[in-house]
Amino acid sequence: MNRRNRVDHFAVAAACRANPGVWQSVGEYNSTQSAEGACDYIRSAYVKTSAQRSAYSPAGSFETRHALTEFGARVEARYVGVSDDTAWADALASLTEEAVS
């Protein structure tokens, strides 16, 4: 049985954040079902216990996709930020105020 390399999700998330909007490889999974599970884990920033933290938090700040390969399914992710980002909203508001003045 072939064992797959473990994915360093914190490294993947860091690469995504460093290049917003650019698809980054997460890894190849044995099946489409496993790939879909990884996609759900990333998009929801899932953690099993409150003592854990997710590399992909906050939930909704990453998009995912998967594609079939010869040996399973490849998962990719990209950082898109979050729509309720207070700092971003404040920055946009200040730009709007400057444009009006």
Residue 2 included in any domain: no
Distance CA 12, CA 93 (A): 32
- Domain count along the chain: 1
Which domain, by its residues, includes 86?
Answer: 9-100
Rg (CA), the chain: 17
Residue 51 included in any domain: yes
Residue 1 included in any domain: no
Residue 33 included in any domain: yes
Residue 16 included in any domain: yes
Residue 4 included in any domain: no
- 5 band by pLDDT with thresholds 50, 70 and 90: confident
- The model's pLDDT over 7-64, given as tens digits with 9 standing for 90+, comes to 999 999 999 999 999 999 999 999 999 999 999 999 999 988 888 889 999 999 999 9
